Amino acid sequence: MAAKNNITFKCTGCAYIAPKWLGCCPSCNEWNSFSENNAQHTFSPSSKKGLSSNRNEIVELVSLDTIITSQQERLISGINEWDSVVGGGIMPGSLLVLTGDPGIGKSTLLLHIANKLAMHNRVFYFSSEESLEQVKSRAMRIKTMHTNLLFSDQATIESILATCQASKPDIVIIDSIQNCFFSETHSFPGTIAQIRETSFALMRLAKEHRIAIIITCHITKEGFMAGPKTLEHMVDGVFYLQCEDRWNTRILRSIKNRFGTINELGFFSMTAEGMEEVSHINSYLIDESSDAPGAVLMSTLEGSRPLLLEVQALVIPTKFGIPQRVITGLDHKRVILVAAILEKYLHIKLSAHDIFVKIAGGLKMQESSSDLAIALALLSSYFQQPLAPKTIALGEISLTGMIKPVKAAEVSLKEAQKFGIHNMLIAHSQNGSYPSAKRLKNVYQLLEFFPHT
Ligand code: TYD
Ligand code: MG
């Protein structure tokens, strides 16, 4: 089966090209996936515009001041949690991916957004995954039936491209990319090869016709990120919708955004009438915080948004074997480091204790500004004495036991004040005026909060 007359073989799973037929693909490890590579069509990456023809053409280079830029009006939906995560509205001509587990609410969220955007824009919704009856029943349920929002269940990408080139809508939604296919490509919808090629074609459509395109892409049941990952380098933005079971909340996270900042978070709640914005997420977090020993509030900046989180610690003497360290939502090494600092300077035998530390609500925090809160939570559990109710601590701890200021504390502390939190513990040299805050220089001062030692 060796290659003759320039015949190559292509994996139908990942589009890997081999000079001879192979039983197992070295790229995606799929068996029996190779077939003769004789498929040629307009949008295959190998026949990109400018590559196949005019290969030797001399191009004219220009200086940037000769380029006229138009001020792009972003497409604002009015759903703030979405608009802020995408960077203040969708940029015309951008290609965005919304990803997440099946059933997480991608279609529902997009239907809400499409419906709002349809008030001022022409929006085409290609629902390749569901029939129009299914889409209608969802639209009726969540009351998103704007007449400017037009639907099709077309899944062939050639037809979608031709329709959009002819009608030039402002926004196109493809739900989902895994169900779309190039009819001329000899691989199944949803394979890496199809996802790559259809997305590439959509990217060109977006750029050439200044159409904003949002595509949905599932993470498969096994948690396989291959689909969304394949697209990441190609598209302008990747947004990940996650579930937070505790409050029945969906978190929208920006993973990549060429037109905004990453790590922005948006919060939604899945209700019987669709996805509702949750703009007061901190009130959920604060309401759930406890005044028990081992609990301390702290804050993290997710993008531009301060989140008030509760760190909880449980410190108990080790009964047998090596002391356990179970840490969830925080950097493992950071907690170990803080425990070592406390042991060194305060002579507390944490090394003979099991330590469990977590962030309430399944959220995550990696920053060094959590040091002080971790230290206080550990001490509070160790001494079995609670701190004053609703105490927030923000500070980094150096290896020498000094408490250092943290960046952007102002936003976090303002947010805390908004929720009536006035017990603040911050570094001595922290900038800003916080009359109710107690300023700390070093870890020795932490013992003052636990008088019964
Ligand atoms: P869906 O948007 O279809 O998810 P995805 O597109 O990510 O696969 O959401 C499906 C789930 O959401 C389904 O379990 C039903 C639930 N749901 C509600 O709870 N309320 C609603 O108003 C709607 C439309 C769906
Ligand atoms: Mg869906």
Query: 107 C-alpha to center of ligand 2: Å?
Result: 4
Query: 74 C-alpha to center of ligand 1: Å?
Result: 27
Ligand nearest to the CA of 241: 1
Model confidence at 362, pLDDT cuts 50, 70, 90, reads low
Q: Which atom of ligand 1 is nearest to the CA of 175?
A: 6
Of the candidates 369, 368, 381, the one whose C-alpha atom is nearest the C-alpha of residue 313 is: 381
pLDDT over threshold 60, residue 418: yes
CB of residue 113 inside a 6 A radius of ligand 1: no
The Cα 264–Cα 254 span in angstroms is 6
Query: 105 C-alpha to center of ligand 1: Å?
Result: 5
CB of residue 99 inside a 6 A radius of ligand 1: no
Average of pLDDT values for 3-9?
Answer: 67
b/e per residue 301-323 (b: at least 16 CB within 10 A): bbbebbbbbbbbbbbeeeeeeeb
Give CA 443 to chain center in angstroms. 35
Confidence at residue 245, expressed as pLDDT on a 0 to 100 scale: 63
Ligand nearest to the CA of 103: 1
CB of residue 107 inside a 6 A radius of ligand 1: yes
Q: Which of 72-81, 96-105, 413-422, 431-440 has the lowest mean pLDDT?
A: 413-422
The contacts of residue 307 (CB under 8 Å, 6+ apart) are 265, 281, 282, 285, 299, 300, 301, 363
Of the candidates 266, 178, 160, the one whose C-alpha atom is nearest the C-alpha of residue 215 is: 178
Q: Which atom of ligand 1 is nearest to the CA of 101?
A: 7
**Nearest residue (CA) to ligand 1, atom 8:** 103
Confidence at residue 283, expressed as pLDDT on a 0 to 100 scale: 78
pLDDT over threshold 50, residue 86: yes
Model confidence at 50, pLDDT cuts 50, 70, 90, reads very low
Residue 243 tokens, joined: 């579930």
Query: 47 C-alpha to center of ligand 1: Å?
Result: 39
Model confidence at 296, pLDDT cuts 50, 70, 90, reads very high
CB of residue 242 inside a 6 A radius of ligand 1: no
Highest mean pLDDT among 5-19, 89-103, 406-420: 89-103
Query: 227 C-alpha to center of ligand 1: Å?
Result: 21
pLDDT over threshold 70, residue 45: no
Q: Which atom of ligand 1 is nearest to the CA of 104?
A: 7
Q: Are strands 274-277 and 305-317 parallel, antiparallel or unpaired?
A: unpaired
pLDDT over threshold 90, residue 46: no
Which of 111, 270, 277 is the pocket-test mutation for ligand 1 (most atoms within 8 Å of CB)?
A: 270
176 prior amide bond cis, ω within 30:
yes
Query: 338 C-alpha to center of ligand 2: Å?
Result: 44
CB of residue 102 inside a 6 A radius of ligand 1: yes
Confidence at residue 71, expressed as pLDDT on a 0 to 100 scale: 66
The Cα 379–Cα 372 span in angstroms is 11
Confidence at residue 295, expressed as pLDDT on a 0 to 100 scale: 93
pLDDT over threshold 90, residue 361: no
Confidence at residue 229, expressed as pLDDT on a 0 to 100 scale: 74
- pLDDT per position as a tens digit, 248-271: 688 898 889 998 887 778 889 888
Q: Which of 96-105, 134-143, 237-246, 288-297 has the lowest mean pLDDT?
A: 237-246
Q: pLDDT averaged over the chain?
A: 86
Average of pLDDT values for 404-425?
Answer: 87
Of residues 192 and 436, which shows the higher confidence score? 436
Radius of gyration of the CA atoms of the chain, in A: 27
Query: 424 C-alpha to center of ligand 2: Å?
Result: 44
Query: 105 C-alpha to center of ligand 2: Å?
Result: 7
The Cα 276–Cα 334 span in angstroms is 36
- pLDDT per position as a tens digit, 179-201: 888 887 777 777 777 888 899 99
Query: 217 C-alpha to center of ligand 2: Å?
Result: 9
Of residues 162 and 185, which shows the higher confidence score? 162
**Nearest residue (CA) to ligand 1, atom 12:** 105
Model confidence at 1, pLDDT cuts 50, 70, 90, reads very low
Q: What is the dihedral of CA 313, 316, 318, 323, to 10 degrees?
A: 10
CB of residue 272 inside a 6 A radius of ligand 1: yes
Confidence at residue 48, expressed as pLDDT on a 0 to 100 scale: 45
pLDDT over 70, % of the chain: 90
CB of residue 395 inside a 6 A radius of ligand 1: no
